[in-house]
Amino acid sequence: MDGFEVQRKISNDVVILNLKGYLDAHTAPQLEKALQTCIDQKEYKIIINFENLSYISSAGLGVFMGFIEEIRQHGGDLKFSNMNPKIFRVFDLLGFPNLFEIFDDERDALNKFNSK
Amino acid sequence: MPDIAQERATRQRGSVELQSLFELSRAISSSRDFRHVLDVLLLTPMGRMLISRGAILLPNGHGRFAIAAAKGVPHEWQQQVFAFQKLPRHIVAAPAEDLRHYAARLPELGFNLLCPIYFDDRCLGVLALGNKLDGSFYSKNELEYLQALANIAAPVLENNRHLHALEVVNKQLDRKIQELQTLFEIGNELNSTLDKKTIADSLCFAIMGEMMVQHCVVLLMQAPGEYEVLACKGQLNPKEVPLLQQADLMHQLLQLQRPLRLQDIPESGLRSVLKASHLNLYIPLMNQDEVKGAVLLGKRFIQSDYSDNDLQFLSTLANAATISLENARLFQEALEKQRMDEELAIARDIQQRLLPASPPELPGFDLAGLNWPSKQVGGDYYDFFLIDSNRLLLAIGDVSGKGVPASLLMANLQASLRALIYADMPLTKIVARINDIIHENTAIDKFITFFVAIIDIRNRALTFVNAGHNPPILIHQSGEVVFLETGGLLLGMMPNVVYEEETVPLASGDWLILYTDGVSEAMNAEDEEFTEKRILQAVHKHADLSAAELVEVIAREVIDFTNNAPQADDITLVALHLD
């Protein structure tokens, strides 16, 4: 089975999580941990970059649902970027574009954070 | 020549109309943008006939018509929905007021003409137009033109209707595929782990992603009325969920055997607390007809409510999880049983190692011991060894309880006895000291029945202390039987006990039999005990056997007596025969 990896970088006060590989029920706890770390460190401006993600299942999306309220309550947001069409299709199908901002490029998401 | 001029004008108009219809058909058949098609359909007659107001009404799927495209209509009117009492079969041109009996609100928009678009007897839409700017009535020619326009539009609208239906079906299909994919993936994931927390986490994430919910709680029943919170997702602290603090309402909830939305639950304390906990859906984890646990979900983020289809999907997912959780439980049980078996094997090993491997060789003394442990490992103990060249020690004991604790206590007894026996102390003091040690080392409910004797080999005398043990039987060759009872309280009950000792002479031909209650109290099917009487009978009957042979014969008689019923207790025997 393909692995899954979360790479973390910081740009000013925005945390960027780069997802890589295969995000499903099996690897979802890894993403949960990475997001929990952000919350614990009071980092509420988060961008998820999907460029290197090859697969996402509902369980992967479920992880985001568990954090979004907390993040927004603290004045932050979870923004998505660099989705390939296959990944976007799953998000779209489940109605996520109604709830999350999705950007073509990480830079756009970053600008949106910084423009506020 | 007015006739000719008129004819030319008519012909010219005809040609312009044809051209406009041709352009229209070309525009609408070359465009994939349905909105654009509707715009062309509307703007063509409006431009052609100088009409300032027009709209295309399309069925909205609920038996009504909605404005799909509009020109010259006030913006606030564009969301209007019309209920047609009757649909026009043909073009109707009439004063606005007269259109009221088609749909009540039509006149308010100032329409004077309705041109229905039919395909195969199905009304696909209505082109509604207002007055011409020049105030003239629609001519026969113009009505024919509009009819032609409607005829061209019909197949386009029909195609779009199919396309739209197809899109809806496609979307539903995609959604179903995604659901199946989730079920498949969760099935795999659930089967790849036997850890209940991991199972619950996977279940939560799949549901939260699929349903777009933020809060998900998974509960598992442990015993009737007792449950464990396996997962609590969405930054929820179980301690802050009101429902989880109310044992009686939880109990009430976990009786419910089918999925329930908040609004399906009648107004009650349960409903109020669910509401206060922001939990909108209850899905029981069912195994056979029993509720094994539950999934509780918060509200959906986009669609306000859970559909029947959602409930079905969630139940399927919950069933898969229930099976996995049940497997995990069975596995855990098997693991615990295995651990217990291993523990018992260790206990049995400890016990066996503490028993003497072989009797000391002493001329004139035939000595043998036997211990057949029960399946459960009891705490029986026997011992014999030479303290010095003239003193032989014999001991037997029975530790209360079973398993590892009993074995450890028995090891404690054996070590104490072997250490203290070399001290220059009377036997009574040694036993008193051992009693204190055992008392200090054990809980009040643990005790040992213990018999210890020292035989003076040269003088053939036996000095003993019996601390509550089944009295050993001394059978003189004369036939006289003596039960060795003198001593005191069993070991470990209380400290500072004073013991008594007694000395009895031994003679050639005497048998001494030490045993535990696993022998004397062995039970047959009629609830009768083996008793000392049967031990005595066996000794009389087999007095010619060696000590080793005799203990085995007695042990076999005990087994025969109980008719091979599973042995509840150890069988322990020591026999001494004096030549």
Q: What is the mean pLDDT of residues B370-377?
A: 80
Is residue A66 in a domain? yes
Which candidate in B182, B183, B205 is best for mutational testing of the A interface (most A CBs within 10 A)? B205
Which candidate in B185, B212, B216, B324 is best for mutational testing of the A interface (most A CBs within 10 A)? B212
Q: Are B185 and A57 in contact (CB under 8 A)?
A: yes
The Cα B457–Cα A5 span in angstroms is: 80
Q: Give me chain A's average pLDDT, please.
A: 91
- CB-CB under 8 Å, A25 with B205: yes
Q: Which of A58, A69, A70 sits opposite B209 (nearest CB)?
A: A58
With tokens 């029945």, the residue in question is B449
Q: What is the CATH number of the domain that holds A54?
A: 3.30.750.24
Q: What is the mean pLDDT of residues B511-534?
A: 91
Model confidence at B455, in pLDDT bands (50, 70, 90)?
very high
Please report the residues numbered 209 through 248 in chain B whose beta carbons come closer than 8 angstroms to any beta carbon of chain A: 209-210, 212-214, 216, 233-235
The Cα B257–Cα B259 span in angstroms is: 7
- C-alpha distances in angstroms, A48 versus A12, A19, A41, A106, B25? 15, 7, 17, 8, 48
The Cα A46–Cα A13 span in angstroms is: 9
Q: Which CATH superfamily is domain B355-578 in?
A: PPM-type phosphatase domain (3.60.40.10)
- C-alpha distances in angstroms, B223 versus B98, B267, B283? 74, 28, 19
Which candidate in A39, A57, A63 is best for mutational testing of the B interface (most B CBs within 10 A)? A57
* Residues with Cβ within 8 Å of residue B290, at least 6 apart in sequence: none
Q: Are B520 and B497 in contact (CB under 8 A)?
A: no
Is residue A93 in a domain? yes
The domain tally of chain A equals 1
CB pairs under 8 A between A and B: 102
The Cα A70–Cα A76 span in angstroms is: 9
User: Which of B269, B278, B275, B317 lies closest to B294, judged by CA?
Assistant: B317
Query: Which amino acid does the sequence have at B253?
Result: L
Per CATH, B193-331 and B355-578 having the same topology is answered no
The Cα B338–Cα B478 span in angstroms is: 53
The Cα B488–Cα B452 span in angstroms is: 12
pLDDT at B50: 84
- Closest CA in chain A for residue B233: A66
Q: Could you state, in order of their start, the residue ranges of all structural domains in chain B?
A: 2-165, 193-331, 355-578
Q: What is the mean pLDDT of residues B220-227?
A: 83
Provide the pairing of β-strand A101-103 with A77-81.
parallel
Is residue A102 in a domain? yes
- Closest CA in chain B for residue A62: B209
B205 to chain A, any CB pair closer than 8 A? The answer is yes
Q: Which of A24, A67, A98 sits opposite B235 (nearest CB)?
A: A67
Domain B193-331, CATH: 3.30.450.40
Which contiguous run of DSSP H or E holds residue B394?
strand B391-399
Residue B288, pLDDT above cutoff 90: no
Q: Give the residue numbers spanning the domain of A19.
A: 4-111
Residue B464, pLDDT above cutoff 90: yes
Is residue A116 in a domain? no
Q: Are B390 and B457 in contact (CB under 8 A)?
A: yes
Q: Are B450 and B490 in contact (CB under 8 A)?
A: yes
Residue B379, phi then psi, degrees to nearest 5 = -120, 40
Highest mean pLDDT among B320-329, B338-347, B355-364, B402-411: B355-364
Please report the residues numbered 5 through 34 in chain B whose beta carbons come closer than 8 angstroms to any beta carbon of chain A: none
Q: Which of A26, A57, A61 sits opposite B181 (nearest CB)?
A: A57
Per-residue pLDDT tens over the stretch A59-87: 899 899 889 988 999 999 999 999 999 99
The Cα A22–Cα A1 span in angstroms is: 9
What DSSP letter does each residue of B476-542 carry, written as one string? -TTS-EEE---EESPBTSSSS-----EEEE--TT-EEEEE-HHHHT-B-TTS-B-HHHHHHHHHHHT
Provide the pairing of β-strand B461-467 with B473-475.
unpaired
Q: Give me chain B's average pLDDT, please.
A: 88
Residue B430, pLDDT above cutoff 90: yes
Q: Which of B181, B182, B205 sits opposite A63 (nearest CB)?
A: B205
pLDDT at A116: 64
CATH class of B2-165: alpha beta
Q: Are A12 and A116 in contact (CB under 8 A)?
A: no
Using a CB-CB cut-off of 8 Å, the residues of chain B touching A96 are: 212
What DSSP letter does each residue of B133-192 carry, written as one string? TT-PPPPHHHHHHHHHHHHHHHHHHHHHHHHHHHHHHHHHHHHHHHHHHHHHHHHHHHHT
Q: What is the mean pLDDT of residues B174-196?
A: 83
- C-alpha distances in angstroms, B10 versus A28, B2, B5, B21, B491? 75, 12, 9, 16, 131
